[in-house]
Structure 1
Amino acid sequence: MKRRLGWYIFGLAIVILLTASGCLAGDNNPSNEQAIEAEWQSQDNAEEPSAEVYPPARPLVLGFSQLGSESDWREANTTSIKEAAEEAGIELLFENAEQSQEKQFEAIRSFIEKRVDVIAVAPVVHSGWDEILKEAKQAGIPVIITDRSIDIDDPSLYVTHIGADLYEEGVKAGKYLLDKMRDQQAPIGFVELRGTEGSSPSIQRGKGFQNTITGHDEYKLLDSEAADFTMEKGKQVMKGFLQEHGSEIRVLFAHNDDMALGAIEAIEEYGLRPGKDIVIISVDGTRKAFEKLVLGQINCVVECNPLLGPNVMQAVQELAAGRTLPKRIVSSESVFTEQMAEKEVGNRKY
């Protein structure tokens, strides 16, 4: 009896040892490893909080210095910026400089003080930006230049410029003129309504236009004067041109639609037919200008797209994500003539 009990205990011990060794061997079993990994993953997933558990991160903050509200184009540009910011969930600090570079400096300094994420500026004039942009760079705040360009010694002071190729707009206007008047008898006298003195559109559109017609001796510049991109000043200056040069004026190149619309009133009051007696070329592409195209009172509009808001907000988000932007982002634009106007006028959003 005692012998049987001894063999029973010995056999039970062997079973226990084999079972233990089997468990230890199972640690190296691939199927067991997968089971353990699945277990950890399930625990990780169970413990990971859903996105709703944490409050959303604070919105990006953009400080935007708009140069003014001098024209329908500018109003459309402002609306585009505000609507795009709201749609993108970006907090917008908006300041209207009312054509004052000093006010733009004040706005930028206030943005720096408030530690915004990005600063965007539509500059009043072309030069004088170096020092204020150095302040923004020292504060670690990236700067986007919109619409008009700037002239600075150190291009690294801003990350990108979003807007039209202003020089190319002048080139397009010049090419239209050469085509339109190719069979006309010389001399062909023309006048120019420039924008704000010292602004990049005034400088670059003028250069593009002049360089395109250079070498065509049949064209004679009779007068050129700044009219501040406004309808009232455009009418006033055009009235003076007509008093000085009268029927010598065969072409008007206006640097924006508002000045062209003012000039149309002056031409009609003088007793001439806009678009017929005087060919009118303008830049912008507002609905009011297209209506004059339909009537034949403007002959050509070179488009300058004001709807830059989506591009600006995308750039802000890209910067916040640490991505690099191209130094130049050019908006898509076209040239419209009288023949195209009726089809296009209904599509104008501004």
Structure 2
Amino acid sequence: MRSAIVKAALLGIGLLALLIGLYSYGTVGQRAKSAEDEVKYLIGVSQPNLVEPWRVMMNEEIKREVEKHADLRVIFTDAANDSRQQADDVRKLMGYGIDLLIISLDDPVMLTPIVTDTFRNIPVIVLGRGVTGYDYTLYIGTDNRLIGSKAGEYAKQLLDNGSGKRIIEIKGLQGAPTVEERSAGFHEALADREDIRIAASIYADWQRDKSEDELNELLADHADVDLIFAHNDAMALGASKALAHHRISGVTIIGVDGVNSDNGGLQLVKNGVLTGTFTSPTGGGEAIQYAVDILNEEKGIPKKVILRSHQITADNAESFERKTAVSEVKPRRGITDHRPIRIGFAQVGTESGWRLAHTKSVISAAKEEGIELLFEDADQQQEKQIEYIRKFIAERVDIIVFSPVIKTGWDEVLREAKEAGIPVILSDREVKVSDDSLWTAYIGSDFTEEGRRAARWLVQELADAEGGVNIVELQGTKDSGPMAGRKQGFEDIIAQDGKYRIVDSLQGDFTFISGKELMHEALKKHGSNIHVVYAHNDDMALGAIEAIEHAGLRPGKDILVISIDATKAALKALAAGKMNFVVECTPLLGPQLMKAVKDYMAGKELPMKIITSEGVFTQETAKRELANREY
């Protein structure tokens, strides 16, 4: 924070920067703020362009939220679709002395280095399209793989079973994580329809004009297309213009963004230009809310906030427009009638030290907030959890919270909760259901990213190693969210280098005993040919260490040991040299859970996912962390 005089001077520089394409909000515009006002924080907002309606809407949402804070000033930049210019814009914003950067990207691969450099000096919030790696304070966006999957399911509904159904996919920027995720989700959803094929895919860099030009060229050979899926509404609009140019009718067009503006997806659906679209909330207002919390050093700031996407079709466009126009927030029952909020919490079990710490955190946080908590332990049995959820429904609790044993098999009981008007919050683990509106929010970790972080360390650590690297993977409970994500993320990274090979992937259940038994099995089969053990949690890793020692080998030296959780027991093993790397997965979710419960009961719409901020530990850093570890 700087003095008001310094801030005023910086704002003067910002206004002069209008001549080079920058503009400042708060000193100019409809609600001009007095030069005498004290400026507590200066925030920079870097945009790759202001052509897309989605980005214009993002800036408008940022401005509206800034209006609520008299001590904030914001400087916006527009890179005019030039990634090098955007990197220069960020450097200029840093030169103006900003306290926090909000950045939205078209080219995350190219701009990740400047984001990393900025993050070393000030907080950085990334909006909409993520960067590669983990060097930022907070990411706010959507689940792009899920959006792609929803678009694929919608495409199947629109394309009746038959022969020769052809789709053209129009992607954003080549190599961007957002593009890869949306495309992967789309293709996965179509995999069970042999009559549908992707006839062609083109990259249009998120731009309407490029989409139109590329498709004009392509339609010469693909005039018989049945459906077009564009990764944003701007490119979808470009596709409609190309179809019109070729006088091709009857083609279904699906977009993504759903902005309510003249050329936004909502109006394009209402006008019949698009068949449907999926909202991709900009997160502009949320970015300012979190920016204030970050700058004021509030506790419990998440690492990622994933906003919910909604499908818009001609059937619901009018009602969706009315719904989004309502800005009044009304408290839900339990806030104004002076009775405690009641939560039903169905815990998965007591399978590990991590789980015990998770339970303790939820119980303690509820007590501290004066929230009545009804607690049940399912002892690792899905049938018991379903029984307890139905019990909570019958008792008319305000909110149901549970950590699912496995991902599937919850549709029926969650539908019962929805019909009873009781929201469901998932803590620590996710579910896989046919309708994601059956649950309200997820609070926990990004399990796929945890696996990636484990693999990135391994690849970096053994970059100079000669020959192949043989890995034994100890999986968690079959079909559970942590198991699936940690496996996928790890494999995503090692697949990029052929020398890393998983020679055995053994099914455990997150317990010490299973880790020990599975490692005994692996050692009998592979012996000293095992170079690395990757365990999906600390308890299994600690069991594996005991088995390695029993075989006369040195864990941490003869066999590298990588784990996820970062419990005190694991950090002790890490500090003693028996482990090599641990990715944190914090169980202390109680405070964030209670905040979400209170926000919901106060009438706010919760994000789809709230992902916690977590660290990584090596043998060198473990000793320092041990003194602070609560579990």
TM-score by length of 1: 0.83
Query: Residues of 2 paired with 1:83 and 1:56: CA distance?
Result: 24
Inter-partner Cα distance in structure 2 for 1:99 and 1:65: 11
CA contact (8 A) 1:66 1:78 kept: yes
Deviation at 1:289, TM superposition (A): 0.3
1:288 aligns with 2:549: no
Alpha-carbon distance in structure 2 between the residues aligned to 1:215 and 1:163: 28
| TM-superposed deviation, 1:330 | 0.6
What's 2:459 paired with?
178
**Amino acid of the residue matched to residue 598 of structure 2?**
Q
Determine the C-alpha separation between the residues in 1 that align with 2:408 and 2:570. 30
Q: Deviations over 1:132-182 (max 9, x none)?
A: 110000000011011011111211111110000000000001101101111
Cross-structure match for 1:333: 614
Give the distance between the partners of 1:264 and 1:73, measured in 2 at CA: 18
CA apart distance, 1:318: 1.3
2:362 aligned residue: 81
Whole-angstrom distance in 2 between the partners of 1:159 and 1:188: 42
Large movers: runs of 4+ above 2 Å: none
In the alignment, what sits opposite 2:182? none
Deviations 1:264-303 (CA, angstroms, capped at 9, x unpaired): 0000000000000000000001000000111110000000
Q: Which residue of 2 aligns with 1:153?
A: 434
Q: Which whole-Å deviations, capped at 9, do the CAs of 1:314-337 have from their partners, x for residues lacking one?
A: 111112111111111011101111
Name the SS of the counterpart of 1:322 in structure 2: coil
- Per the alignment, residue 398 of structure 2 pairs with 117
Q: Is the 8 A contact 1:65 1:107 kept in 2?
A: yes
2-structure distance, mates of 1:210, 1:173: 10
Residue 168 of structure 1 pairs with residue 449 of structure 2 = yes
- Distance in 1 of aligned mates of 2:548 and 2:539: 14
**1:202 aligned onto 2:202:** no
Q: Aligned match of 2:374 in 86, 89, 93?
A: 93
Identity of aligned residues (%): 51
Q: How do 1:1-350 residues align onto structure 2 when only pairs under 5 Å count?
A: 57-350=338-631
Classify the secondary structure of the residue corresponding to 1:137. Answer: helix
Please say which structure displays the higher CA radius of gyration.
1
Partners of 1:220 and 1:192 lie apart in 2 by 10
Bigger proportion of residues as helix: 1
- Could you tell me how far 1:215 is from its partner in structure 2? 2.9
Rounded to whole Å, the distance in 1 between the matches of 2:608 and 2:525 is 44
Partner Cα separation in structure 2 for residue 109 and residue 153 of structure 1: 20
What SS is found at the alignment partner of 2:627?
helix
5+ residue gaps, structure 1: 1-54
Equivalent in the alignment of 1:37: none
Q: How far did residue 345 of structure 1 move?
A: 1.1
Gapped runs of 5+ residues in structure 2? 1-335
Return the alpha-carbon distance in structure 2 between the equivalents of residues 149 and 157 of structure 1.
12
- Match of 2:531, SS? strand
The amino acid that maps onto 2:528 is S
Partners of 1:142 and 1:347 lie apart in 2 by: 35
Distance 2:374 2:386 in 1: 15
SS of equivalent to 1:315 = helix
Q: How far apart, in 2, do the equivalents of 1:333 and 1:270 lie? A: 34
CA distance in structure 2 between the aligned counterparts of 1:221 and 1:172, rounded to whole angstroms:
17
| Deviation of 1:56 (Å) | 8.0
User: Is contact 1:186–1:219 with CA below 8 Å preserved after alignment?
Assistant: no
Letter in 2 for 1:202: M
